[in-house]
């Protein structure tokens, strides 16, 4: 198949009529469109928006659960006091929210996938916030609890803006956006309106790793992806793009999935060594997985890189490992910079999207392919 000159743009996710109604009401609340904090009757809103009263009722119930609205008998639907005060106090605040989502490996694994990079991003963000006269309020929670953390935003100390690091679930972010706060997504991108993003160029990093191995002479390159592939669809695309660019074969069996745990690496190595034809090189989702894989390979007396070359794509610093790395510290610093710029624009800022490139750091785990591929294991 002919290679396209430019990749197709990702299709935006469609919203239901109910979701759109919820978002319109959130944005109206954030702008202060309801004098005295009183919400018009459902019939009036339905007529204005061109939707049914039932759709408006369901949307209002969703905003009630988020703490933005409250219903009183004989008084109607009113804004909750935190929602009324948020817009006024946010502009004066020097506090910036930093919400770090953690994704533990499945099946009880104790390796946190984002642990290595999250620390560097937080350091960069803290440094830039301090330089700008602000302070970060850091909340770290499993990704499954971020919805609860976001729901508390309007009830705590007023924030000037919020950074969501390593979090890629759309609905909770839309709820936070409805509070009227400037938001920057760090280490992810959802293409939501009014939200800036800062992330590493995962597609370029994976492609760069494949190109590096191809330049060493490898023609059979496998890829080990994290089990939660939906959280980073760009990396596997970069692997495939790199194969196409180097005119190398792509085999579905060479695209492996793994948990980033010692047990997950063990299962991955078992699958890898059973492949025929056998790959001569392996690109891993991150440096943690690459390190674990190398340990398991050496226990099976597979020499790295003499029998099999292994590379990682970002994460922890691993002595001797060959890998591609992005500037995670600078990403955190940049996220604060974009957030303060958006906060100063009072809602009129144009969203900015920054992609940080990778560069190859040569180590001792990638070399020319063996003369007799398939002999290892």
User: What are the φ and ψ backbone dihedral angles of 29, each rounded to 5 degrees?
Assistant: -60, -45
CB environment 152-175: b (16+ within 10 A), e (fewer):
ebbeeebbbbbbbbbbbbeebbbb
pLDDT at 250: 94
| pLDDT < 70: residue spans in the chain | 1-15, 30-32, 35-37, 65-68, 71-92, 103-116, 151-157, 228-231, 346-348, 373-377
Report the CATH architecture of 87-200+327-346. Answer: 3-Layer(aba) Sandwich (3.40)
pLDDT at 375: 44
pLDDT digits 0-9 by tens, 323-363 = 999 999 999 999 999 999 988 886 667 889 999 999 999 99
pLDDT digits 0-9 by tens, 57-74 = 888 887 776 556 776 655
202-325 maps to which CATH number? Answer: 3.40.50.2300
Give the Cβ contact number of residue 369 at 10 Å. 21
pLDDT at 238: 96
pLDDT digits 0-9 by tens, 81-115 = 444 444 444 556 788 989 888 766 544 444 455 66
334: Cα within 13 Å, side-chain hemisphere: 18
pLDDT at 156: 60
pLDDT digits 0-9 by tens, 198-214 = 999 999 999 999 999 99
The CATH 1.10.10.10 portion of the chain extends over 17-79
13: Cα within 13 Å, side-chain hemisphere: 12
Q: In this structure, which topology does domain 17-79 adopt according to CATH? A: Arc Repressor Mutant, subunit A (1.10.10)
The CATH 3.40.50.2300 portion of the chain extends over 87-200+327-346, 202-325
């Amino acid at each position: 198949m002919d290679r396209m000159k430019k990749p197709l743009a990702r299709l935006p996710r469609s919203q239901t009529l109910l979701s759109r109604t919820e978002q319109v009401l959130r944005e109206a609340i954030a702008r202060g469109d309801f004098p005295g904090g009183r919400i018009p009757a459902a019939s009036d809103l339905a007529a204005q928006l061109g939707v049914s009263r039932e759709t408006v009722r369901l949307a209002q119930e969703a905003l009630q659960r988020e703490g933005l609205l409250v219903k009183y008998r004989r008084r109607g639907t009113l804004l909750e006091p935190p929602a009324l005060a948020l817009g006024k106090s946010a502009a004066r605040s020097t506090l910036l929210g930093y919400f770090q989502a953690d994704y533990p490996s499945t099946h009880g694994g104790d390796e946190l996938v984002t642990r290595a990079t999250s620390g560097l991003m937080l350091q960069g963000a803290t440094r830039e916030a301090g330089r700008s006269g602000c302070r970060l309020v850091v909340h770290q929670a499993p990704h499954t609890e971020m919805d609860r953390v976001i729901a508390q935003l309007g009830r705590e100390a007023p924030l000037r803006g919020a950074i969501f690091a390593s979090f890629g679930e759309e609905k909770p972010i839309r709820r936070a956006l409805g509070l009227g706060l400037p938001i920057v997504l760090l280490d992810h991108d959802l293409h939501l309106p009014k939200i800036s993003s800062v992330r590493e160029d995962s597609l370029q990093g994976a492609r760069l790793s494949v190109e590096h191995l191809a330049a060493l002479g490898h023609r059979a390159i496998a890829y080990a992806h994290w089990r939660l592939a939906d959280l980073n669809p760009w990396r596997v695309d970069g692997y495939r793009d790199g194969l196409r660019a180097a005119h190398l074969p792509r085999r579905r069996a060479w695209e492996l999935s793994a948990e980033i745990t010692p047990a997950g690496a063990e299962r991955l190595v078992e699958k890898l060594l059973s492949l025929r034809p056998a790959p001569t090189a392996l690109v891993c989702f991150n440096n943690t997985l690459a390190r674990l894989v190398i340990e398991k390979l050496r226990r099976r007396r597979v020499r790295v890189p003499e029998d099999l070359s292994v590379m990682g794509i970002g994460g922890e610093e691993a002595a001797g490992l060959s890998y591609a790395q992005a500037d995670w510290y600078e990403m955190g610093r940049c996220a604060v910079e974009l957030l303060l710029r958006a906060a100063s624009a009072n809602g009129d800022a144009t969203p900015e999207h920054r992609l940080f490139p990778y560069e190859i750091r040569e180590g001792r785990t990638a070399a020319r392919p063996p003369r007799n591929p398939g002999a290892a294991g």
